Amino acid sequence: MPELPEVETIKRTLSPLLKGRLIKEIKVGLGKLLLPGEKEFIARVAGRRFLDLKRKGKYLICLLSGGTAVIVHFRLTGQLIYVNGQKPLPPHTHLRFFLDRGELLYVDLRQFGRLEALAAKDLKDHPQLKELGPEPFALNERDFYGLLQKSSRPLKALLLDQKVISGLGNIYVDESLFRAGLHPKRPGKELSLPEASRLLAVIKEILAEAISDGGSSVRNYVDGQGQRGRFQEKHRVYGRRGKPCPRCGQTLAYTKIAQRGTHFCPACQK
C-alpha cells in the first residue's frame, strides 16, 4: 500500500494528533504484527509518550519518550488511524493504542504490515533502514545517473528496489516512467545523462504533487484521519490498462516486470 507520498501524508496528519499523547494501554488482536514479539513490544511502548514522527522511505518512525522508537511498515494494506469518540471499529483492526486523548488504531486487511519497538539509539543499526538507498529528493542528476549506470536491470526493477532509491512503489514508478517517456524495460545503464535527469525531475515532480494531493487511494489507503487521497484521479497509466493513452490515444499496455504488474504506453515510452 503506501508509498512515499502516502506515508508522508500519514505522518503529517498524525503528527499534530499524536505529539505529546500518552500511550496508556495497548490492546493486541494479532500479535504476529509486533516485533520483536508481543510481550516485549508492550513492555517497551506502554506508558510512553509520542514525541515526534519521522519518515524514511516507506517507513514511519515514531519517536517515544524514554529513548524508545516504533518503526511502522504498512506493506500493502496497513493503516494507522486516529479516532476520538465511540464509533464502530473498522474491520481488520488488529491493534488499539489507548491514549490520554483518543485512540490510535492499526488496521491491516492483508496482515503484511509490521510494527517494531526498539531503542531509538539502535535505529541507525536497523537492518532494513540501514540498507535504504537515498530518497529522490536527496538526489542530484549526476548521482542518479551514476546509480542507473551501475546496472543493466530494467528501470522498473531498479526504481522499485529500495536499496537503490527509497520511497517509490508500483504506482509512482509506472507514473514516473510514463511522464519521462521511458520504457519500463530499458536497462538502467542505457540511459543518457539527459534522460536520467528528466526521469529524476519527473519523479520529484510526481511525488510532490501526490503529497500535496494527500496520496493515492486505489483501494484501501487512507491517511491518519481515515481520509482518502486524491492523486489517483491524476494517474495517467497506473490501473488504466486497455484505456487510451492520455498523450497519444494508443491503447495502454500491461505486462509483468520484476513480478509486478506494469502499466505503460507502448508508443510514448521508448
**Residues annotated as catalytic (active site), given as ranges:** 2-3, 58, 260
Residue 258 and residue 177 in contact, taking contact as beta carbons nearer than 8 Å: no
Single residue of 12, 28, 83, 151 touching DNA by CB under 7 A:
151
Q: How many CB atoms lie within 10 A of CB 20?
A: 13
Is 12 annotated as ligand-binding? no
Residue 176 binds DNA (CB under 7 A): no
Is 126 annotated as ligand-binding? no
Interface stretch with DNA, choices 15-23, 81-89, 97-105, 108-116 (CB under 7 A): 108-116
Q: Which of residues 24-83 bind DNA (CB under 7 A)?
A: 32, 57-58, 73, 75-76
Interface stretch with DNA, choices 19-27, 41-49, 118-126, 256-264 (CB under 7 A): 256-264
**Cell of residue 193, nine digits:** 545523462
Interface stretch with DNA, choices 46-54, 62-70, 107-115, 193-201 (CB under 7 A): 107-115
Alpha helices, DSSP H only, in 83-187?
Answer: 127-131, 141-149, 155-160, 170-180
Q: Rounded CA gap, 139 and 170, in Å?
A: 20
Alpha-carbon torsion (9, 10, 13, 18), positive or negative: negative
Element (H, E) at 26: strand 23-28
The β-bridge relationship of strands 23-28 and 78-83 is unpaired
Q: Please give the annotated binding residues, written as ranges.
A: 92, 110
Binding site for DNA: residue ranges? Answer: 92, 110
Q: Which residues bind DNA (CB under 7 A)?
A: 1-3, 6, 32, 57-58, 73, 75-76, 91-92, 109-112, 128, 151-153, 157, 160, 162, 169-171, 216-221, 258-261
